[in-house]
Each structure stands twice: as structure tokens, then as C-alpha cells.
Structure 1
Amino acid sequence: MSRIFKLSTPKRNTTLRNEERLFEKEAKKIEELEETCRKLYKDAKKCSDSAAALCKCERRITQDLLASSLCQSEEQLLRHVEEWDSSIVKLDLHLQEMNSNIQKTMIEPVKKFNMIFPSLHTAKKKREQSLEEYEKWEAKVKKYQERDRTGNNIVKLHQSRKSLQPAKEEFYEQHYILMEDMPKLYDCRIDYFQPCLEALIKSQVTYNSEAYKIYSELAGQLIQENLTAENYAGLIQQKLQDIKGLSIVD
């Protein structure tokens, strides 16, 4: 009695399982990088917009005060508010310069970097489709290997093996391209973003240094000649406490 030995293959071969684990590891790093870049772009815009909004809000306060009847009737108060308003105008020039630097050295480079990810998603999707095609033909080969060796099954096995080879080659070609490109993309992030972050920090340091200088000069102009800086600070705190103690009743 003759025995027919049937060849079989694992559901997913060991090599392919290992390749998938390595791919998923690299893909996860890219997903985290994309999320970080998206947040970085959003935060950079928020930083710029918030600084501009703060300056506009402060300018609105001085403009409202200058238009008030109280300033019109109090000469000293009017002079102080005018000095405050003038300081805001000076600071606004430095703010515009900082925001321009943030736009050129942070927002635009991050936006450009983010443009890489859509094409990467397309390549990953194409790889996934080729993997499905590869596994489809691999499953067919296994199926016909396990069937009786009739003439019809042998022909289908031969056809499946013939289709399996190009599907396998197509998958591994796309797989190895991504496995080469994804680590390169991830590794280049430091060299790409370090100059951007350095420029951002320098711009913020310059702006805040000018802000400190301008407001220090303004404080010197507002302090009464017969008051020391310590006494003036104490007077401000006392006024703030008085304001907190006010109650509004019908």
C-alpha cells in the first residue's frame, strides 16, 4: 500500500512573522514621531498667537484708559498711561520680530516635515495590500498541497506557486524600502529640529530681555520720586489688597 506524503507550510512562516514584528516596531516609532510633530506645530502656532493676543489685550487696556474721563481729568494719570502705551508700542515691534522668527524657523519647517507622513501612509497601505496578496497565494499553495494529488489539483498548485513568487517579491520589495526609510526618517529628527528649537529659544530670550528692559524703564518712570522701589512695591500690594476687599452690592 503506497502512502502519499502531503507537504504543508505554517500559517505564517517564521521569517515573515519576524519581519512583521520588526516592521511594527519601526511603524510605532513613526506614529509617535508624527503625533509629536503635529503637537509641535500646534503649540508653535499657539505660542505665536497667544503672544500677539496678549499684546493686543494690553494695548486695548491703555487705549480704553486714555479715552476715559478719569484720565482726561487727572493729568498725572494721563501721563502715566501714555508712557505705558508708548512702552507697549515699543514692545510690539520686538513681538513682531519674535513671531516672524517663530514662523520662519519653527512653524514652516515643522509643516514641511509633516508633509512627509501622507506619502509614508500611502506606502504603508500599498505594502499592506501586497502582503494580503502574498498571503492569499501562500494560503492557496497550502490548500492545494493538502488536497489529493489529482490532475486538476496539481495544475492549480502549479498555478498558485507561479502567482505566489511575484506576489512575494512585490511584498518584500516594498517592505525593505520602508524598513530602510522609516529608521532614516526617525533618526534624522534630531538634526532637523535642533536648529529650529535653538532659534526659537534665542528669539524668546531676545524678546523677553527687551520686555524686561522696557518694563523696567517704565516702572522707573511711574515710581514717585519720594518712593523707593521697595516702598512702591509695598504700595502696589496694598492697593491690590484694597481691590480684593471691595464688595459689590445692589
Structure 2
Amino acid sequence: MTAAQTRLADTIDMFYGAGDKTSEGAMAAHAYKRAVDDLDTGIGRELDAPYRTTVMEPLGKMNAYFPVVNEHITKRGKKVRLLCWLLDYDSARSRMNKLIAKPSEDPTKLPKAQQEHDDAKEVFDMLNEQLIAELPQLLDLRVPYFDPSFEAMIRMQCKFAEEGYEKMSGVQRYFDDSVRDDYASGQLDSQVEAVLQEMRELSICGGS
């Protein structure tokens, strides 16, 4: 947020500073830029390290688990496909042997397929039981895991907002009393909208 505010403050300061630097608008723009710079170099950087430690790093650690979980799910899916193929093969071989009532040309194929089936089923059962048991636990633990991070994020945002309000309050003194009164009464929004409407009516903006 401070990066966007800094760019905005620079633009406003250049815009108003291009004219009379002693005007009310120029002084207010400069005060706003100074307040934003103070926020960025002060409270913004002060909160940067704890924000990374308490919010971003825990989030990254949690996200790191899910590729491993997805890998196990994918591996289980491969075992399912292998099991289905082997079961079909086993059934087909069995029916064929009964129909033709003679030994298979390669008697080792069926025992080999059965062994592969048993091995695949063993791996599948292990992965499936692990996912069934642990995946709900992983999902349930997300909330208590993120509780401290969420609380820390809210506290830091409150701190930033408080500091920002204090800094921006100092900018108000550069505005005329009537501007503050108009803002408090809601008339300032109407004035801004009226100016915007005048801009819309200009030919360069597509007005008639």
C-alpha cells in the first residue's frame, strides 16, 4: 500500500509543485508527500520484518505441504488405474482359460499379473489409508495454525492505520477551514463530482 501511496504522492507533488510552490495546494501536496515518505521509511519498514516472520513465512510453510499431498493423491490415482487394468486382465485370462480348457501359452503371465496386482494394492491401501487419516487432520489444523498469523496481521494493520491517521492529520492544517467543513458535511464529494462532470463534457473527453 505504501508503494502505491508513494507513487501517488510523487505525482501530486510534481503536479502542484509545477506552479506556485507557495500555494495552498502545493504546500498540502508537499505535506502529503512528506507524510507518505515518513510512513514508508518509518512504520512501513518497522512492520516489514515482523510481517514476513509472522504472516508470510507461516503461509509459505503451509503451502509447502500441499504439493506433497497432491503428489500422494496422484500416486494413489496411478495405483487405482493399474489395479483396474490388472483386475480386467486377471478376469479375462480366467474366463479364457475356462473357455478353451487348456493351459495358457505363457503360464507365468497370470501369476506375474497377480503379484503385480497384490503389490499395487498394498501400495494403494497404504496411500489411501494415510490420506483418509491425515488429510482431514491437515485441513482441520489450518485454522489454529493461521490464528496467530491472522491476529498478528490485524494488529500490524491497526498499527499502520493509526500511524497513517496521525501522519495524515498533519496534512489537514494546510487546507482552508471551509474545505474541512465541506468534507465533514459531505459537500466536498458533490463538488468533486461536479468538476468531474465538467471534464466529461469536454470534447477531448468525448463530450458533445
Tell me the TM-score normalized by structure 1: 0.63
Q: For the Cα contact (< 8 Å) 1:223–1:232, is it kept in 2? A: no
How far apart are residue 51 of structure 1 and its match? 4.0
Give the equivalent residue in structure 1 for 2:140.
187
Query: For structure 1, which runs of at least 5 residues remain unmatched after alignment?
Result: 1-49
Give the 5 Å matches for 1:92-107.
Answer: 92=40, 93-107=42-56
Does residue 59 (structure 1) correspond to residue 3 (structure 2)? The answer is no
User: Is residue 240 of structure 1 aligned with residue 171 of structure 2?
Assistant: no
Q: Is the alpha carbon distance of 1:83 and 1:152 closer, same or farther for their aligned partners in structure 2, counting shifts above 3 Å?
A: closer
1:204 matched to 2:154? The reply is no
Question: Which one is further off, 88-97 or 230-239?
Answer: 230-239
Deviation at 1:207, TM superposition (A): 0.9
Partner of 2:102: 150
Q: Distance in 2 between matches of 1:125 and 1:242?
A: 60
Query: Which residue number corresponds to residue 30 of structure 1?
Result: none
CA gap of 1:176–1:242, structure 2 versus 1, over 3 A, is closer
Change (3 A) 1:104 1:162: closer
Alignment partner of 2:20: what SS? helix
In structure 2, the CA distance between the partners of 1:243 and 1:228, relative to structure 1 (3 Å rule), is closer
Q: Does 1:87 align with 2:35?
A: yes
Change beyond 3 A, Cα 1:61–1:161: same
What code does the residue aligned with 1:174 have?
L
Question: Any idea what the Cα deviations from partners look like across 1:77-102, whole Å, max 9, x if unmatched?
Answer: 55444433332222222233345444
CA distance in structure 2 between the partners assigned to 1:232 and 1:240 by the alignment: 11
Alignment partners' CA distance in 1, 2:73 and 2:183: 65
Q: Within 5 A, what are the aligned runs for 1:1-250?
A: 50-66=1-17, 68-71=18-21, 74=22, 78-92=26-40, 93-147=42-96, 148=98, 149-152=101-104, 155=107, 157-219=110-172, 221-224=173-176, 229-230=180-181, 233=184, 237=188, 240=192, 243-244=195-196, 246=198, 248=202
Give the share of equivalent positions with the same residue, in percent: 19
Closer/same/farther in 2, CA of residues 89 and 189 from structure 1, 3 Å limit: same
Q: CA deviation at 1:121?
A: 2.4
Q: 1:249 to 1:138 in 2, by over 3 A?
A: closer
Amino acid aligned to 1:122: E
Supply the distance in 2 between the matched residues of 1:158 and 1:213 (Cα, whole angstroms): 80
Q: In angstroms, what is the RMSD of aligned CA positions? A: 3.3
**Closer, same or farther: CA 138–153 of 1 in aligned 2, 3 Å:** farther
SS in structure 2 at match of 1:69: coil
- Compared CA separation, residues 212 and 106, structure 1 to 2 (3 A): same
TM-score norm. by structure 2 comes to 0.73
Q: CA deviation at 1:114?
A: 1.7
- Listed one character per residue, the Cα deviations across residues 131-189 of structure 1 (whole Å, up to 9, x for unaligned) are 22222222222223323243338945545434432222122122222223322221211
Deviation of 1:190 after TM superposition, in Å, equals: 0.7
Post-superposition CA distance 1:15-35 (Å, at most 9, x none) = xxxxxxxxxxxxxxxxxxxxx
